[in-house]
C-alpha cells in the first residue's frame, strides 16, 4: 500500500485519470444537453463504438488523425440523426430504439472490422494523437503533468464542457432547451420549436459521443478492438445523472471514473493480491454504487424520455 501514496504513483495515475476521463466527458456532456431538452441518449454506447471504428478506419486509410476524429464526430452525429427520427419524429420509445441501436452497433462494428481487416493476430494500427504540452502551465510541478500534457482532444473535452455549461446557463438557447425538457407544451406555447430543439440537442450529443469514440481508438491505443467502448456509454449516462445535468460536475465525475479505471489497470499491473476480474469490474461497481448513493432525490428534467406530440393534450 505504501507505494500507492507517493507522487511517483499518484501523479501519473491522475494524469491517466484525466486522459481516460476525456471520452467520458465527451459522452456525458453531450448527453447532458440532450437530456435537458428531454431526450435520453441510451444509444450513446453504440454511437461511441461505431465512431471508434469509423474514425480508426478513416485515419488508417488516409493517414490523417484529424480526419479520423472528424469522421468519428460525424458518424456519431449521423447515427443520432437516424435514432432521432425514430425517437423524436416517430415518437417511438427512446430506450427501445437506443437499445436496438446498441445491438446494431455491436454487430455492425464487428462485421465491418472483420470484413475490412480480416482476422489477424497482429492488429492494424495507427499512431496515436500526439501530446501537446501547454507552454508554462505544463511545467508546474505535479499539476502540469496531470492536466497540461495531453493530446488535443483532452483539452477540447474541457473546453467543450465549459462551452456547454455557458450556453446552458447564459444564453436564450440554454433557457429554451431546458424549457423543452421541462414542460414542452409551455415551451411550444412560448413559440419554441420543441422538435427542432430536441433534434439539435440529440445530434449534438451524438457528435460528442462520436468524438469520444474517436478518442478511444485514436487517442490512447491507435487501434480498434471489438466492443472497445465496453459499457462506457452507460457509465456516461450514469455520470449525467450524478452530475445533476451540470456539465462542469460531469467533468468532475468523468475524471473520477477515469481515475478508477486508471487505478484498476495499475493495480492489475502491480500484481495485487486480488484477482484481476475484480479490477476489471471495479469501474462498473463504482458507477453502480455512486448511482445509488448520489443519485437519490435528484430532479431530472420533468419530461425526460417522453415523446412530444404537438396535437395531444
Which H or E run includes 151? strand 149-151
CB 116 within 8 A of CB 57: yes
Which residue's CB is nearer to other proteins, number 145 or number 261? 261
CB 53 within 8 A of CB 113: yes
Burial classification of residue 274, based on how many CB atoms lie within 10 Å of its CB (0-12 exposed, 13-18 middle, 19 or more buried)? exposed
Cβ of residue 198: shortest distance to other proteins, in angstroms?
14
Which residue's CB is nearer to other proteins, number 65 or number 241? 241
Which residue's CB is nearer to other proteins, number 117 or number 155? 117
Cβ of residue 125: shortest distance to other proteins, in angstroms?
20
Cβ of residue 131: shortest distance to other proteins, in angstroms?
30
Alpha-carbon span 66 to 22, nearest angstrom: 17
Cβ of residue 70: shortest distance to other proteins, in angstroms?
21
Which residue's CB is nearer to other proteins, number 153 or number 209? 209
Which residue's CB is nearer to other proteins, number 29 or number 43? 43
Helix (H, G, I), strand (E, B) or coil at 131: strand
Cβ of residue 121: shortest distance to other proteins, in angstroms?
16
Which residue's CB is nearer to other proteins, number 35 or number 145? 35
Cβ of residue 149: shortest distance to other proteins, in angstroms?
31
Which residue's CB is nearer to other proteins, number 133 or number 169? 169
Place of cell 430506450: 95
Alpha-carbon span 44 to 50, nearest angstrom: 10
Q: Which long-range contacts (CB under 8 A, 24 or more apart) does 142-149 make?
A: 142/7, 142/11, 145/11, 145/12, 145/15, 146/11, 146/14, 146/15, 146/18, 147/15, 147/18, 149/15
Which residue's CB is nearer to other proteins, number 10 or number 106? 106
Cβ of residue 15: shortest distance to other proteins, in angstroms?
25
**How far are the Cα atoms of 17, 26, 158 from residue 162, in angstroms, in the given order?**
19, 12, 6
Cβ of residue 232: shortest distance to other proteins, in angstroms?
10
C-alpha cell at 242: 450524478
Q: How would DSSP label each residue in 26-50?
A: HHHHHHHHHHHTT---TTHHHHHHH
φ, ψ for residue 132 (rounded to 5)? -110, 120
Under 8 Å CB-to-CB from 202, ≥6 apart: which residues? 34, 37, 39, 41, 80, 83, 84, 87, 88
Amino acid at each position: 500500500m505504501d507505494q500507492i501514496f507517493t507522487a511517483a504513483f499518484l501523479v501519473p495515475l491522475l494524469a491517466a485519470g484525466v486522459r481516460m476521463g476525456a471520452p467520458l466527458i465527451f459522452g456525458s456532456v453531450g448527453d447532458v444537453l440532450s437530456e435537458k431538452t428531454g431526450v435520453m441518449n441510451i444509444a450513446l454506447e453504440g454511437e461511441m463504438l461505431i465512431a471508434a471504428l469509423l474514425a480508426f478506419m478513416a485515419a488508417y486509410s488516409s493517414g490523417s488523425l484529424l480526419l479520423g476524429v472528424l469522421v468519428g464526430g460525424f458518424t456519431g452525429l449521423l447515427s443520432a440523426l437516424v435514432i432521432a427520427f425514430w425517437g423524436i419524429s416517430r415518437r417511438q420509445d427512446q430506450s427501445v430504439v437506443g437499445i436496438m441501436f446498441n445491438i446494431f452497433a455491436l454487430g455492425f462494428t464487428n462485421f465491418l472490422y472483420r470484413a475490412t481487416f480480416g482476422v489477424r493476430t497482429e492488429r492494424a494500427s495507427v499512431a496515436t494523437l500526439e501530446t501537446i504540452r501547454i507552454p508554462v502551465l505544463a511545467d508546474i510541478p505535479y499539476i502540469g503533468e496531470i492536466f497540461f500534457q495531453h493530446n488535443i482532444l483532452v483539452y477540447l473535452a474541457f473546453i467543450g464542457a465549459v462551452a456547454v455549461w455557458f450556453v446552458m446557463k447564459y444564453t436564450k438557447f440554454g433557457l429554451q432547451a431546458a424549457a423543452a425538457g421541462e414542460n414542452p407544451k409551455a415551451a411550444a406555447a412560448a413559440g419554441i420549436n420543441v422538435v427542432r430543439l430536441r433534434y439539435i440537442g440529440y445530434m449534438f450529443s451524438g457528435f460528442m459521443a462520436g468524438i469520444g469514440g474517436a478518442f478511444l481508438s485514436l487517442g490512447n491505443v491507435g487501434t480498434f478492438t471489438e466492443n472497445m467502448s465496453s459499457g462506457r456509454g452507460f457509465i456516461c449516462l450514469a455520470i449525467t445523472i450524478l452530475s445533476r445535468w451540470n456539465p462542469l460536475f460531469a467533468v468532475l465525475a468523468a475524471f473520477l471514473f477515469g481515475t478508477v479505471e486508471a487505478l484498476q489497470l495499475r493495480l492489475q499491473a502491480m500484481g495485487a493480491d486480488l484477482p484481476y476480474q475484480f479490477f476489471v469490474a471495479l469501474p462498473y461497481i463504482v458507477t453502480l454504487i455512486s448511482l445509488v448513493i448520489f443519485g437519490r432525490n435528484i430532479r431530472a428534467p420533468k419530461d425526460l424520455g417522453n415523446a412530444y406530440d404537438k396535437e395531444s393534450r
